[in-house]
Chains A and B, each alone.
Chain A
Amino acid sequence: MMASSYNAKEEDGRNSNSSTHGGAAVAKSKKPDNTAFKQQRLPAWQPILTAGNVLPAFFVIGLIFIPIGIGLYVTSNNIREIEIDYTGSESGSPCNDCSTNFTWNTTTPCICTVNFTLNQPFEGNVYMYYGLSNFYQNHRRYVKSRDDSQLNGNIKSLKEPSKECEPYRTDPVTKKPIAPCGAIANSLFNDTLELFHNEPNGRTTAVPLAKRGIAWYTDRTVKFRNPVGDNLSEVFKDTEKPMNWMKPVYELDPSDPENNGFINEDFIVWMRTAALPTFRKLYRIIHKNSSSTLTLPSGSYTLKVAYNYPVSSFDGRKRMILSTISWMGGKNPFLGIAYITVGSICFFLGVVLLIIHHKYDSRNNSADIPN
Chain B
Amino acid sequence: MVTLTFWPLESSTSSTTSSVGICCVSCREKGLAAGIGSPAPSATHSGSGGPSRIIPARQLLPTCWALRRKLLKVSLPPSVGSCRTGMEAEQGEELVGKARGPTSTFTCSAAPQCLHPDRAPCAHGWLWFPCGWGSQGVHLCWSREREGAGDRGAALAALCIAGRRSGNDASYYQSAARNTETECCKLSTAGGRGQRWARVAAGRQPGQCHRGTKQGKRPRAAAPRLPACMYFSSCSLRCSTSAGGPELSREEKLQLRKEKKQQKKKKRNEKGTAAEPPEPGTAADPAQPRVTPHPASPPASANAPNDGEKPPGGKSKAELRAERRAKQEAERAQKQAKKAELGQGAAPAKPRLTPTEAPSVVKRLPEHVQVDDPAAQRKLAKKLERQQVPLRQDYGTKVNLFSHLHQYSRKKPLTQQMSIPSTVIHPAVVRLGLQYSQGIINGSNARCIALLEVFKQLIRDYSTPPNEELSRDLVAKLKPHISFLNQCRPLSVSMGNAIKFLKKEISCLPDTLREEEAKEKLQGTIDNYLREKIVLAAEAISKSAFEKINDNDVILVYGCSSLVNRTLCDAHTQTDRTFRVIVVDSRPRLEGRETLRRLVRHGIHCTYVMINAISYVLPEVSKVLLGAHALLANGSVMSRVGTSQIALVSKAYNVPVLVCCETYKFCERVQTDSFVSNELDDPDDLIVQRKGQAQLGGWAENKSLRLLNLVYDVTPPDLVDLVITDLGMIPCTSVPVVLRVKNVDQQ
Whether both chains belong to one complex is answered with no
